[in-house]
Structure formats: C-alpha cells, structure tokens
Amino acid sequence: MSLLDIFSSGDTRSLTMDEPHPSSLLDSGAQGVIGKPLPRVEGPLKVAGKATYAAEYPAENLAYGVLVRSTVSAGRIAAIHADEVQALPGVIAVVTDYDTFLRNAAQGGDTDAPVQGVEEIQYHGEIIAVVVAETFEIARDAAARLRVDYEPGEGRYDFERYRNEAERPPDSQVEAHSQQGDPDGAFAAAAVKVSAVYTTPSQNSAAMEPHASIAEWKEDGTLLLHGAYQMVASDQQQLADALGLKADQVRIISRYVGGGFGSKLGIAPESVAAAIAAKQLGRPVKIVMARQQVFDATVRRSNTEQHLKLGADADGRIVALIHDSLVSNLPDEDFFEPVGIGTHFAYAGENRRINHDVVRLNRTLSGSMRAPGEAVGQMALEAALDELAEATGVDPIELRRRNEPPQDPEKQIPFSSRALVPCMEKGAALFGWADRKAPGSDRRGEWLHGIGMAAAVRSNMLQKSAAQVTLTTDGRAIVETDMTDIGTGTYTILAQIAGETLGLPLDRVIVHLGDGKAPPAAGSGGSWGAASSGSSVYLACELVRERLAKKMGVDPAAMTLKDGRAIAENRAVDLTDLVDENIVVTGQIAPGKQEKLHTQASYGAHFCAVKVNAVTGEVRVERMLGVFAAGRVLNEQTARSQCLGGMTFGIGAALTEELVHDPRNGKIVNRDMAEYHLPVNADVPQLEVHFLPERDINANPIHAKGIGELGISGAGAAVANAIYNATGVRVRDYPITCDKLL
Ligand code: MOS
C-alpha cells in the first residue's frame, strides 16, 4: 500500500505526470505573488521566538534522556552497570533495549527500514543506551558515569588499506555500474588524455538544530513524537517499524526544523530511544542529541576516491569518459554515495563508464547529505574538465560548449529542459571571464590571483505528494500537508501558490505543515520538495477554482480570481458571498512516464575569484557568482537563499570541511563545530546569484525544478579551478588546505 492510499478526504484531484503539462495557472499572474522575492511568512514567528521547535514543546511530567555512546569501535557489549547510576538521586532508569535501538534507519524513500540492534557494536560512538532522569543535568551526569564492559572485536578502519577488497554495491539509487562503447580502448587511443584521482573526505550535514525528540504515549496506545525530521510520512513508517507498530499508530510533528541537509531524512537514534524509554516509564521523555552525538551517531557523507579519465580529440571533444569511484559505508548497508549521478548526462562522449564501489568500514553510517552524488562528484568531474581545458588549450567554457550533449548521452532521450550553456554565457559576461589570465601569472605582492568556473548539474525528481486545501466561508484558504519547511521556504511558496491560484492576498492563506496526521507529502529531500508539494497544492486549488466557477455559472477559464473576488462576465463577487459552505479538496501529484521520457535536471554555472598567499598558502575567496536555471522560480528570495547556502557549502567543501577519522579505530576526531570547519562569515565574500527564466513543462504542472541542492553542485570545483588558475598548482585532495599548496 502506498502512503497516499492511507489518506482520503473530500474530492481529490490526482495527476500522474505521464504527459507534458503545457499550461499553468501560475502564468496568469493575476494575484501577482508567484516568483516575487517575498520574505518568509513565518519569519516574524521565528525572530520572536514563537516558532516552536521539536525540543521546545511542553509536556506534563516530562523526563529527560541522555544518550550513551559506545567507546569501542567493534565488538559486543558484555555488561552495562546500570545499577550504579540508577541509585543516584534523580535518576529514573537506564534503558538498554538492544532489540529496538536503531543504528540509524534508511533515509527517506521507501520505508522498509532495517531495525538494527546494537548489542553488536559497529562503530565508535554508536548509541547503546539512554539514561533518563528528572532533569537534563542529572541525566547527563549519570550518562557520563555509566560503566560499560565490552568484548572488543575486529573492525576495518582504514580506507586506504582496504580499498582493494571492495564489494560491489547493489543497484539501488542509481546504476552502480554502467558502461557503453569501449571506454578503455577509446581512452587509450585518444589524442589528449587526462587521468586524475580526486579524493574528498567524510563530511557531516552539521545542521544548526541538533536532532531532538519528545515522545509521548497516548492512552489508546499511539505514539506522539515531536521531532526534527525532513520526511514526516516515511519517518512515521520507520518509527512504527522500529517499534513494531502500524504507521497510523505513530504521529510525528515537525512544524519547524532548523536545517537538515540530509541528516534528518530518516529517523535517528534519539527518536527510537525516546519512544522506548517513554513507553517503559509511562511518562513523556525528551532527548536532545549533543553536537558530538550528532557527529558520531547520525549520518556522515562518505569519503570518496574518484578516478576520472577523460579522452578527447585535439579540439577537446570528449571521446572517452570514465568515472570510477570508491566510497565507504558500514557492512550490509544499501546506500552508497552516488558520485557519478551527474556524470551520466552532464557531457557528451560515446564511450563511457561510470562505476561505484564500496569499501566496508567500521565508521559512522554514511548516507545522504547536501546533494548526494553531485556535490562531491562534480568536485572531481568539473576539476577534470578544467584539466582537459588546460591540456587542449581550449577555454573552459568553450570546452563545455563543445561537449554539450544534444540529448541524454546514455539513455538517448531528450532533456526536459537544459540551460547550461546560457548559464555559462550569462555568468561569463557578468563575472568578467574574459579577463582570465594564464595560470600563476597574476601576482600582486605576496598574493597570487586567479579565477575559475565550473558547471552545476543536479537531477530533478518528482515524488508522490498530497495536500488538502480548504476555502472557508470567510474567504481564507487553509493548506494542510505533512510537508516540512527545513528553512527552505516551504511555508511561503505554498502560500504563494494557493494565493496566486485562488486570488487571495497572502494574509488570507494559512499553511499548516509538518503534522503527520495531514495528507502525506514528499517531504524535504532530494530537492524535490517545492515542486512536489507545490504541485499537490496547485492541483487542489485547481479543483477549488472549478467549484467557484460552477457557482459563478461560468467556465473556469473565463473566470479571474483576484483580491478575494471571483470576476467573470462583468461581475465581481466576493468569495465570502460566493462560498456558503467550506470547500475542502485534496490534490495529489505522482511521478509518471515523463521521468522515463526525459532526463530532468537543473543547471547552473559557478564563477569564483580567489587569492592565494604565495608564502603561507592561505586561500581567500574574493568573489563568487552563480547563474542558475531551475524552471520556474517560485520565490526569488527563498530560491536565492538556497543558492547562497549551496555556494557557501561549496566554499567549505573546497577549503575547510573534513571529518577526520582516526585510522586506528574509525573514530571521528573533530566532532564539533569548533573543529569541523564550516565556512564562517570571514570565509565567505559577497556572493551573487542570478536566475535565468525557464519553464519545465515536462517536470510538473507548476513547471519548477529542484533548486535546493543545485547551488552546492559544482561550487567546490569552481573554487579549486580558481586556485589552479591563481597558482598553477592542482590539488586533487579536498579540502585544499594551506599545507597542500606549498
Ligand atoms: Mo537532501 S541530502 O536529500 O536532504
């Protein structure tokens, strides 16, 4: 049974994207709110401290849980000396339910999440128990005192040492192994060759809000969980699976989420632990993960080793394109960082191989983080393109133009829309690309200056999504869906879509998000949130319009809705007069044949200027500019913020971000914001974001494509390419720290 089947309410308009959807109600611009750079509607609540986050809900008789981590990296638990701390004043219980604690569930998507006990330790820092007390401070103290005996086991910790024992991952998210033509032969015979190995380190999503849950069991045996999650419907299913319940016995509420970046796609240990403890104790339990626990025991992006081989003719036309990658994850996990996901269709080339292999290591679970695949894949691919430009003497933009595929080079199907070349051209003009100098030739005192560019490519996806819209007798629209807003602007864009299609000013549109009792949405992941949930709201509003047109006695196409009135045939009627009973309808969107008929992606081009200190190797990003084409931009301000964030993460990935694993035990050495170096204000110069107007009629009825993860894709490579242009030194081991440049 699909999640959508669970829900039904009122009349439903369903659309499966089997065909292009050429017209959109949003084009009329009657209300004039779509696309506008409007500030987020929940902004005043947030700055006033009135937006309630997961850990902030009140609960009667609340107890506080603190998670306990394993201090060994492999082996078994022999004994947990719970008695010693249970005797301390204020301590309520030490909960060590091996059968149901989660390592971490699969992230989002389908919901047959594995339930993994932790009697067997798989990595350093894995959650093994929760100490519950009357106050947080007592629980934390008792957790620190808790003695645990282990039977240490053998683990595999060192990526370098075990890389030759890679096992083949199952095909899941992407074709893990794909080949066409004779890539090795074509590479060997190519006039110009680039063969280079790039490495990227493990990374952490590092969302501002740590993972937090308050679990409360109701008298009817159902669980209410206030949590910080990206995908409420599938998270409810995962939590139900972990606890042996049915999905409709769990209700997750995630009204406000302080960032996720992938780490909150699937449930994390704190939610399961809180639910089990609350059940055992018969009272609500709150668990907030400490920052170090978030780093240790939620999810990391895998480190990668990527071997790029580009063979080209003398004019830079690619004849062989090989992208072999090796990543890491725990034994038996399905997920692998899909490093080559964008390489499948980014550039032409008849002979191709894109390979993913996994080394099984006892390190924190790896999973989706900020543009899984593209973010790190393009740090290699786009740097290799820069090396090919250098080797052929062709300008990097011209090189990409020469390798622009007329259609998907592997699937031989058209692109739904693709504006990579216009993005590069506009960016080049705005940035001043023509002023680029030869590598290492622009020295001013101690500083070497350079500029670089890279393309941005991010797959576009549509996911099943539903929303209910109520048009009330007092002329307001209420949108209800379990979609989340993780800081992305969902509240605002859904209000804009309803406002535009129903002709209502935004103060007459109310959006309720993040409650698992509402119709199940796609959730915030994979950059599909706005287009998927926006389409469901759009479809519901289309149905409301038809109802209103019927009441007006006209064809919907002959009616304009504007400022709370229905206008047709020289009549203008207030919706408050027209609607005598609330109109309640549901919209549902689902992917269909269109995603097989077209390769869908968003595109962009990054430009970056850096200076590198010739004495110390210090890199300063001086300027960065991105031009993006992602279909209809629903809100220019929130869309811009997404891209600014992505570019900022690109600077971090290029220069500072790196989880360091101790090679002796896999332990993450730098597990806090002080030592895991995200870029801060001083690292980020003025960033410029531009959008190209675009509509994608093949993607969905609102013609928007994903934008959330487009800004990070390629951004790190633009920084790296600028560093090469400044110094003439090519560093292929990210992050590019001072020591590697000297
Ligand atoms: Mo994203 S890594 O799908 O939250």
Atom 4, ligand 1: which residue's CA is nearest? 262
Contacts for 229 with CB less than 8 Å, ≥ 6 apart = 235, 252, 254, 257, 260, 264, 267, 271, 484
CA of 414 to the centre of ligand 1 (A): 26
Q: Which atom of ligand 1 is nearest to the CA of 371?
A: 2
> For residue 163, what pLDDT is reported?
77
Of the candidate ranges 65-74, 190-199, 332-341, the one whose mean pLDDT is the lowest: 332-341
Q: What is the mean pLDDT of residues 126-143?
A: 96
109 lines ligand 1 (CB under 6 A): no
Sheet holding 177-180, edge to edge: 177-180, 351-360, 318-329, 304-312, 192-200
> For residue 3, what pLDDT is reported?
41
CA of 264 to the centre of ligand 1 (A): 8
CA of 299 to the centre of ligand 1 (A): 12
Measured distance CA(3)–CA(656) in Å, rounded: 41
CA of 193 to the centre of ligand 1 (A): 34
Percentage of the residues of the chain whose pLDDT score is greater than 70: 94
The verdict on whether 709 is a catalytic residue reads yes
Measured distance CA(240)–CA(252) in Å, rounded: 11
370 lines ligand 1 (CB under 6 A): yes
Q: What is the mean pLDDT of residues 260-281?
A: 95
Measured distance CA(612)–CA(598) in Å, rounded: 43
Which member of 216, 333, 658, 709 is catalytic?
709
Q: 182 burial class (0-12, 13-18, 19+ CB within 10 angstroms)?
A: middle
Residue to mutate, 709, 710, 712, ligand 1, most ligand atoms under 8 Å from C-beta: 709
487 lines ligand 1 (CB under 6 A): no
Q: What is the mean pLDDT of residues 159-179?
A: 69
> For residue 102, what pLDDT is reported?
61
> For residue 100, what pLDDT is reported?
66
- The structure tokens 């309720």 sit at 512
pLDDT digit string, tens, across residues 542-555? 999 999 999 999 99
Q: Which atom of ligand 1 is nearest to the CA of 527?
A: 3
> For residue 333, what pLDDT is reported?
83
Q: Which atom of ligand 1 is nearest to the CA of 261?
A: 4
Q: What is the mean pLDDT of residues 26-30?
A: 93
Percentage of the residues of the chain whose pLDDT score is greater than 90: 90
pLDDT digit string, tens, across residues 98-123? 666 665 555 444 434 344 446 789 99
367 lines ligand 1 (CB under 6 A): no
Per-residue pLDDT band at 4 (split at 50, 70, 90) = very low
Q: Is the dihedral of CA 240, 246, 250, 251 positive or negative?
A: positive
CA of 649 to the centre of ligand 1 (A): 14
> For residue 113, what pLDDT is reported?
37
Q: What is the mean pLDDT of residues 404-424?
A: 98
What is the SS3 assignment for 63?
Answer: strand
Domains of the chain and any CATH numbers: 3-52+463-590 (3.30.365.10), 61-154+208-259+264-298 (3.30.365.10), 177-203+301-461+597-741 (3.30.365.10)
> For residue 18, what pLDDT is reported?
97
Per-residue pLDDT band at 175 (split at 50, 70, 90) = low
- Of residues 586 and 104, more confidence is placed in 586
Whole-prediction pTM: 0.96
Asked whether 529 and 494 are in contact (CB, 8 A), the reply is no
Q: What is the mean pLDDT of residues 619-624?
A: 98
265 lines ligand 1 (CB under 6 A): yes
- The structure tokens 């047959």 sit at 112
Q: What is the mean pLDDT of residues 390-413?
A: 98
CA of 606 to the centre of ligand 1 (A): 21
Phi, psi (5° rounding) for residue 504? -120, 135
Q: What is the mean pLDDT of residues 680-687?
A: 95
